[in-house]
Amino acid sequence: MIELRDLHRTYRIGSVDVHALRGVSLDIAEGEFVAIIGPSGSGKSTLMHVLGLLDSPDRGRFIFQGRDVSALTEDQRAEVRSRSIGFVFQQFNLLPRVSARENVALPLIYRAERPAQTPEDLLRQVGLGDRMDHAPNELSGGQQQRVAIARALMNGPSIVMADEPTGNLDSASSADILRLLHELNARGLTVILVTHDPDIAAKASRIITIRDGRIVEDV
């Protein structure tokens, strides 16, 4: 599904170069549950942004589902992203004033054809069948993250990328969200999870450790 070869990403701040990724090579197969772990500032989010086609590398090759996506334009990346990738973030990123149902339906704005599953189907799947008309401030953190996961699934992605998805949750809700991601993975979805928490990473089937922009371990 994913092939990275010698990927580099450097940020320029004023006259200073920050080398966030320094030659990352990596293959991820369909159906894997991968945790990317490393200390703060090691390049995890940068790697996820490149993997998720939110950002492009400066150098290196990125093959996504058999297609070279290393040098796509912003619009081309958005197209691949909206069809194939769902995102889940630490801050949920829900619209505050609309219902769970409307939040989940948002990705449909970018899509012409009818979805395979409705927002209602997806909310039931994540265990919120009885909360569809609640606004985010009427839901617990764990429930809000469930809404965000349902939204990530709206366009029928083959891969979900989650950046510290349990970072704002208590331990019971964290366990709950991880269980949901594992259930989705068991149904065939590829999951890439970024975390700084070794206990969360330990439940993945593969753990990639990144430090100073390089992969130092892949087990």
Residue 83 CA neighbour count, 13 Å, CB half: 9
Is position 198 an interface residue for ligand ADP (rule: CB under 6 A)?
no
CB of 67 to ligand ADP, least distance (A): 25
Q: Per CB under 6 A, which region of 12-20, 87-95, 128-136, 150-158 contacts ligand ADP?
A: 12-20
Is position 18 an interface residue for ligand ADP (rule: CB under 6 A)?
yes
Size of the site for ligand ADP (CB under 6 A): 12
**Bridge pairing between strands 214-218 and 206-211:** antiparallel
In the list 4, 7, 37, 43, the residue contacting ligand ADP (rule: CB under 6 A) is 43
**Bridge pairing between strands 214-218 and 16-28:** unpaired
What would the 3-class secondary structure string for the chain be?
A: CEEEEEEEEEEEECCEEEEEEEEEEEEECCCCEEEEECCCCCCHHHHHHHHCCCCCCCEEEEEECCEECCCCCHHHHHHHHHHHEEEEECCCCCCCCCCHHHHHHHHHHHCCCCCCCCHHHHHHHCCCCCCCCCCHHHCCHHHHHHHHHHHHCCCCCCEEEEECCCCCCCHHHHHHHHHHHHHHHHCCCEEEEEECCHHHHCCCCEEEEEECCEEEEEC
Is position 73 an interface residue for ligand ADP (rule: CB under 6 A)?
no
In the list 14, 15, 16, 40, the residue contacting ligand ADP (rule: CB under 6 A) is 40
Is position 44 an interface residue for ligand ADP (rule: CB under 6 A)?
yes
CB of 55 to ligand ADP, least distance (A): 9
Q: Given the complex with ligand ADP, which of 12 and 187 has the nearer CB atom?
A: 12
Measured between alpha carbons, how far is 135 from 23 in angstroms, rounded to an integer? 43
CB of 166 to ligand ADP, least distance (A): 15
Is position 46 an interface residue for ligand ADP (rule: CB under 6 A)?
yes
Is position 57 an interface residue for ligand ADP (rule: CB under 6 A)?
no
Is position 112 an interface residue for ligand ADP (rule: CB under 6 A)?
no
CB of 19 to ligand ADP, least distance (A): 8
Q: Per CB under 6 A, which region of 42-50, 127-135, 183-191, 201-209 contacts ligand ADP?
A: 42-50
Query: Position 146: which residue type?
Result: R
In the list 34, 42, 99, 157, the residue contacting ligand ADP (rule: CB under 6 A) is 42
For ligand ADP, the binding residues (CB under 6 A) are 11, 13, 18, 20, 38, 40-46
